[in-house]
Amino acid sequence: MSDLKTLETELLAAVEAAADLSALEEVRVRALGKKGQVSGLMKGLGDMAPEERKSYGQNINGLKERIGEALGERRAGLEAEDMAQRLASEQADISLPVRVGPLAEGRVHPVSQVMDEIAEIFGDMGFSIAEGPDIETDENNFTALNIPPEHPARQEHDTFYFGGQPDGSRALLRTHTSPVQIRTMRKEKPPIRIIAPGRVYRCDSDQTHTPMFHQVEGLVIDEETHLGHLKWVLEEFCKAFFEVDAIKMRFRASHFPFTEPSLEVDIGYAKVGDELRIGQGEEWLEILGCGMVHPNVLANVDLDPNVYQGFAFGVGIDRLAMLKYGMPDLRAFFAADLAWLKHYGFSSLNVPTLSGGLSS
Ligand code: PHE
């Protein structure tokens, strides 16, 4: 009996002393394994008298159980310690830069970047985004915009036409984003406040003209919006877009069949070496056309011109990109030159936001 007690004390001390899980496993094998000390005791049972065997057997089982329990507790303790240590030592530095992979190598085209910037600025002013197809009807691109057949303005647009239909109508590639005005006003009731970015096409090609380019249309229709609102919206837009506090803008009287009065807007800049400085200097670049929506256009979409009024504008996106990012040649935009894109493109992970900086 006393040798059992001694063994128990010794084994419990060994369990307690095991410093880690592998040391504990050694103690378990030494005590309870097939050739272990407790199993060894069982062998002596055969030589004993039945009475003695019974009580000795019970004692060994009790010992086995208590050692087993102690082993289990110690194991749980060691596992908890192990976990606490791992939690303290294994750290992930979430501020490490993302590994450069094929995704980070790709570049966002400056035109896409500028479109995102424009959407961000007008989104902040409460405009939503509208869309229309590149292939338009003559009606949406011209007639409903107060440019009837035979109107001289049609010649100015150098339109790409598709083959004629038996009824005489011809589909065309839209020459401006203004047909989205018509589509929007036919679908939605005022108040309307939208921008519509997209591709437009004119049969024209030289250093500053490409047969496809980009515009963003703006349209606001309600019962009281006036020219002062238009001017303020455009000024705020230009300041936010060029990321300057002061902007030089020139509003010139102009003519568009779908607005009355009509204006064209130039941006003042200085050329210092190869760099363009917006808001200073004596050079001017035309960036947009605008005006109050013509009463005939409102009537064409069944809005009463005596009740509703508002403004529209059409901005050349490619020109804005050239000005802001100092890219001199418009044709390079569409040449699919990877070296150019690598130089002028933007990281896809840098989404423009007003709070985080549009072009940072
Ligand atoms: N659609 C005109 C153009 O392409 C621009 C414009 C839009 C002018 C809206 C006035 C109002 O030249």
- Are β-strands 135-136 and 170-173 bridged in parallel, bridged antiparallel, or unpaired? antiparallel
Spatial separation of the C-alpha atoms in residues 9 and 351, rounded to whole Å: 69
Would residue 125 count as lying in a domain? yes
Q: Which pLDDT value is given to residue 156?
A: 67
Domain count across the chain = 2
How much is the pTM? 0.70
CA angle (184 as vertex; 178, 189 as ends), nearest 5: 140
Q: 173 and 130, same structural domain?
A: yes
**How far apart, in whole angstroms, are the C-alpha atoms of residue 217 and residue 5?**
94
For residues 43 and 157, membership in a common domain is answered with: no
Q: Closest Cα partner for 147 from 254, 297, 299, 260?
A: 297
Residue whose Cα lies nearest atom 4 of ligand 1: it is 176
Structure tokens at 266: 């130039």
- Residues 284 and 266: beta-carbon distance below 8 Å: yes
Is there a single domain that holds both residue 143 and residue 278? Answer: yes
Same domain, 78 and 118: no
Instruction: For residues 238 and 319, give the distance between their C-alpha atoms in angstroms, rounded to a whole number.
Output: 13
Statement to judge: residues 226 and 339 lie in one domain? yes
Q: Probe ligand 1: pick from 176, 204, 216, max atoms within 8 Å of CB? A: 176
Beta-bridge partner residues of 293 = 259
Quickly count: other Cβ atoms within 10 Å of residue 254's Cβ.
15
284 inside domain:
yes
**pLDDT at site 213:** 93
CATH number assigned to the domain comprising residue 162: 3.30.930.10
The Cα 218–Cα 196 span in angstroms is: 6
Q: Does 252 map to a domain?
A: yes
What is the distance between the alpha carbons of residues 194 and 191, in angstroms, rounded to a whole number?
A: 10
Could you tell me which residues come within 8 angstroms of residue 60 by beta carbon, excluding any fewer than 6 positions away? Answer: 4, 38, 41, 42, 45
Q: Based on the fold, state whether residues 144 and 172 are members of the same structural domain.
A: yes
Helix or strand or coil: residue 119?
Answer: helix
pLDDT value for 92: 83
Looking at residue 250, what is its pLDDT? 94
Whether residue 67 is contained in a domain is answered as yes
Kindly give, in sequence order, each residue whose CB lies less than 8 Å from that of residue 264, ignoring residues fewer than 6 positions away. Answer: 251, 252, 254, 286, 288, 289, 290
Q: Distance (Å, rounded) from C-alpha 322 to C-alpha 319?
A: 5
Q: Is residue 358 part of a domain?
A: no
CATH code (residue 37): 1.20.58
My answer on whether 165 and 22 are in the same domain is no
Cα 291 from Cα 253, distance rounded (Å):
9
Whats the size of the chain, residue-wise?
360
Kindly state whether residues 34 and 62 are assigned to the same domain.
Answer: yes
Furthest C-alpha separation in the chain:
127
Whether residue 77 is contained in a domain is answered as yes
Whether 170 contacts 162, CB under 8 Å: yes
Residue with the nearest Cα to atom 10 of ligand 1?
290
**CA of 85 relative to ligand 1 center, distance in Å:** 68
Residues 22 and 140 in one domain: no
67 & 123 share domain: no
Predicted confidence at residue 3, as pLDDT, reads 81
Distance, in Å, from the CA atom of 35 to the CA atom of 298, rounded to the nearest integer, reads 99
Q: How many CA atoms lie within 13 A of 139 on its CB side?
A: 8
123 and 68 within one domain: no
C-alpha 101 – ligand 1 centre gap (Å): 42
pLDDT of residue 360: 59
Q: How far apart are CA 180 and CA 222, in angstroms?
A: 17
Per-position DSSP letters for 179-224, written without gaps between them: HHHHHHHHH-PSSEEEEEEEEEE-S--BTTB-SEEEEEEEEEEESS
Residue 30 CB neighbour total at 10 angstroms: 14
Helix (H, G, I), strand (E, B), or coil: what is residue 244? coil
Where does ligand 1 bind, in terms of residues with CB under 6 Å? 176, 178, 256, 259, 289-291, 312-314
Which residue type does 116 have?
D
Same-domain status, 146 and 75: no
- Give distance in angstroms: CA of 64 to centre of ligand 1: 93
**Could you tell me if residue 351 is inside a domain?**
no
Looking at residue 33, its amino acid is: G
Residues in CB range of 280: below 8 A, 6 or more apart: 248, 268, 269, 270
Low-confidence ranges of the chain (pLDDT < 50): none
CA 266 to centroid of ligand 1, rounded, Å: 14
Containing structural domain, residue 129: 108-344
96 within domain boundaries? no
Ligand 1 centroid to Cα of residue 187, in Å, is 21
